[in-house]
């Protein structure tokens, strides 16, 4: 790294930013994001920096990036000012946010609870007011879950809508680019920079709002159900009633296992050889998650891919051009930071069953900071048709604005 000053110590209070030497990163002096600060998850290349992917061995072996990831470069070209690389869960394969190699990021909206991962540092930085924008990635929920936990807006974009060049792959057929912001105006402005301004006419007015009871019932208990009910009513007051819909004809558990197997298979293909080198420093839970991919057979992949495509078609038919699925982002507010591994594992298994609908289909989903449980943030989501990203952002803005009144 270049010889330069270290990151200001005041930013260490949330363990959000990595302790790297500062390297000048150029940004446009004017543009729609001028005056806004940007934290970049440490799986995206930034010129002059090493991407460590949340692992000390990866960082030690890494090379200084010669170019910035195109998605991040778009933000810089729009005027955003880069202020540092943010912490990520190890190899981005966790939704908890407790990397064994680093002090855990602090969730300022609920200090005794986790930030969520794997985009933990970006979520902590934005929630704590250290950055206006934080980039993240969402493979299985790594933008949506931290957004719900930290009281932020977080979109899992349509798969393939934003370039992932210059980005660590995890499970490429699931990987997407995302970002965090605290306010809807900033979120929409970033969306327009990355996605363009176009909004589907079918969703620009009064969309057809749908609810699926099997997803609603995955909330963790009575308090969560009550809070979710309040959020659904708030959505209804802003956009119209949420009507019960018949779900696609697949058992949630078979969708869950297809998700788990396909993600793990792709993750092992991407990183298995590196992980398998003797002496690697890698957390046991992360290793086990990758190693599950070794057990996935070619027949599993064929069958699960067929199931995935049938699900995508069925969900697409349900949504049509104007349908929006309303669902809990995750089952509950963020788990407590001192939760046992067993408790965190149980949460994760339940959460995947809600988060997987966007990942399997490739359709966009936005989490909105509309509720609380025990004074901790609890998000609600809108899932729309392929390419409806900007429409979802603007619908979210309408909901949040109405809720403020």
Residues in Cβ contact with 349 at an 8 Å cutoff, skipping those fewer than 6 apart: 256
The percent of residues in the chain predicted with pLDDT above 70, rounded, is 97
Domain that residue 122 falls in: 8-405
Amino acid 8: pLDDT: 41
Q: Is 334 within 8 Å of 116 (Cβ atoms)?
A: yes
pLDDT at 325 over 70: yes
What does the alpha-carbon distance between residue 126 and residue 147 come to, in Å, rounded to a whole number? 10
Instruction: Tell me whether strands 81-86 and 37-41 are parallel, antiparallel or unpaired.
Output: parallel
Q: Is 119 within 8 Å of 143 (Cβ atoms)?
A: yes
Q: Is residue 105 in a domain?
A: yes
Helix (H, G, I), strand (E, B) or coil at 151: coil
What does the alpha-carbon distance between residue 300 and residue 303 come to, in Å, rounded to a whole number? 5
Torsion sign, CA atoms 29, 33, 38, 44 = negative
Evaluate the omega torsion of the peptide bond into residue 310 and state whether it is cis, within 30 degrees of 0: no
Q: In whole numbers, what is the pLDDT of the chain averaged over residues?
A: 95
pLDDT at 2 over 50: no
Amino acid 198: pLDDT: 76
Q: Is residue 176 in a domain?
A: yes
Q: Which residues form the catalytic set?
A: 41, 118, 142
Token pair 């992932």: residue: 164
Report the range of poorest mean pLDDT among 14-23, 160-169, 389-398.
14-23
Q: Is residue 88 in a domain?
A: yes
Residue pLDDT, tens place only, 141-181: 999 999 999 999 999 999 999 999 999 999 999 999 999 99
Instruction: Tell me whether strands 208-211 and 37-41 are parallel, antiparallel or unpaired.
Output: unpaired
Phi-psi region of 53 (alpha: psi -120 to 50; beta: other; left: phi over 0): left
Distances (CA, A) of 254 to 120, 226, 251, 260, 311: 29, 28, 5, 10, 11
Q: Is residue 367 in a domain?
A: yes
- Summarize the confidence of residues 38-49 as an average pLDDT: 97
pLDDT at 5 over 50: no
Q: Is 266 within 8 Å of 294 (Cβ atoms)?
A: no
Q: Is 364 within 8 Å of 134 (Cβ atoms)?
A: no
Amino acid 88: pLDDT: 97
Global model pTM greater than 0.85: yes
pLDDT band at residue 307 under the 50/70/90 scheme: very high
Amino acid 11: pLDDT: 53
Length of the chain: 405
What does the alpha-carbon distance between residue 194 and residue 189 come to, in Å, rounded to a whole number? 9
- Summarize the confidence of residues 259-280 as an average pLDDT: 97
Q: Which neighbouring-strand residues pair with 380?
A: 328, 368
Q: Is residue 19 in a domain?
A: yes
Q: Number of folded domains in the chain?
A: 1
Q: Is residue 2 in a domain?
A: no
Residue pLDDT, tens place only, 336-373: 999 999 999 999 999 999 999 999 999 999 999 999 99
Q: Is residue 87 in a domain?
A: yes
Q: Is 33 within 8 Å of 128 (Cβ atoms)?
A: no
pLDDT at 6 over 60: no
Instruction: Tell me whether strands 153-156 and 365-373 are parallel, antiparallel or unpaired.
Output: antiparallel
Distances (CA, A) of 404 to 100, 214, 273, 367, 397: 39, 29, 51, 17, 11
Residue pLDDT, tens place only, 181-231: 999 999 999 999 999 987 777 787 789 999 999 999 999 999 999 999 999
Report the range of poorest mean pLDDT among 7-11, 136-140, 266-270, 320-324.
7-11
Q: Is residue 1 in a domain?
A: no
Q: What's the CATH number where 347 sits?
A: 3.90.1300.10
**30: exposed, middle or buried (Cβ count in 10 Å: 0-12, 13-18, 19+):** exposed
Strand ranges inside 127-231, DSSP E: 133-137, 153-156, 177-181, 208-211
């Amino acid at each position: 790294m270049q010889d330069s000053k270290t990151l200001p110590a005041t930013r260490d209070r949330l363990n959000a930013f990595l302790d790297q030497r500062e390297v000048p990163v150029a940004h446009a002096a004017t543009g729609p994001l001028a005056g806004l600060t940007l934290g970049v998850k440490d799986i995206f290349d930034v010129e002059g920096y090493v991407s460590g992917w949340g692992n000390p061995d990866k960082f030690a072996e890494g090379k200084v990036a010669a170019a910035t990831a195109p998605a991040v470069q778009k933000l810089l070209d729009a005027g955003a000012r880069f202020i540092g690389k943010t912490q990520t869960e190890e190899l981005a394969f966790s939704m908890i946010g407790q990397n064994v190699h680093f002090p855990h990021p602090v969730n300022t909206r609920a200090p005794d609870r986790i930030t969520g991962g794997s985009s933990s540092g970006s979520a902590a930085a934005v929630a704590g007011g250290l950055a206006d924008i934080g980039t993240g990635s969402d493979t299985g929920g790594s933008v949506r879950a931290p957004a719900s936990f930290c009281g932020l807006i977080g979109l899992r974009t349509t798969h393939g809508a934003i370039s992932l060049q210059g980005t660590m792959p995890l499970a490429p057929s699931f990987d997407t680019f995302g970002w965090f912001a605290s306010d809807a105006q900033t979120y929409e402005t970033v969306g327009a920079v990355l996605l363009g301004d176009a909004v589907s006419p079918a969703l620009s007015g009064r969309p057809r709002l749908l609810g699926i009871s099997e997803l609603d019932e995955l909330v963790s208990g009575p308090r969560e159900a009550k809070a979710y009910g309040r959020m659904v009513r708030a959505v209804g007051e802003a956009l119209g009633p949420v009507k019960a819909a018949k779900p696609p004809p697949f058992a949630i558990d078979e969708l869950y296992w297809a998700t788990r197997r396909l993600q793990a298979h792709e993750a092992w293909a991407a990183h298995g050889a590196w992980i398998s080198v003797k002496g690697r420093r890698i957390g046991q839970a992360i290793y086990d998650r990758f190693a599950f991919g070794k057990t996935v057979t070619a027949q599993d992949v064929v069958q699960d891919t067929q199931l995935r495509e049938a699900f995508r078609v069925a969900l697409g038919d349900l949504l049509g051009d104007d349908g929006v699925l309303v669902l809990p982002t995750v089952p509950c507010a963020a788990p407590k930071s001192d939760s046992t591994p067993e408790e965190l594992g149980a949460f994760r298994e339940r959460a995947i069953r809600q988060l997987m609908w966007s990942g399997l289909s490739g359709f966009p989903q936005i989490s909105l900071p509309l509720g609380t449980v025990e004074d901790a943030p609890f998000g609600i989501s809108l899932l729309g048709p392929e390419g409806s990203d900007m429409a979802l952002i603007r619908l979210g803005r309408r909901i949040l604005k109405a809720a403020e009144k």
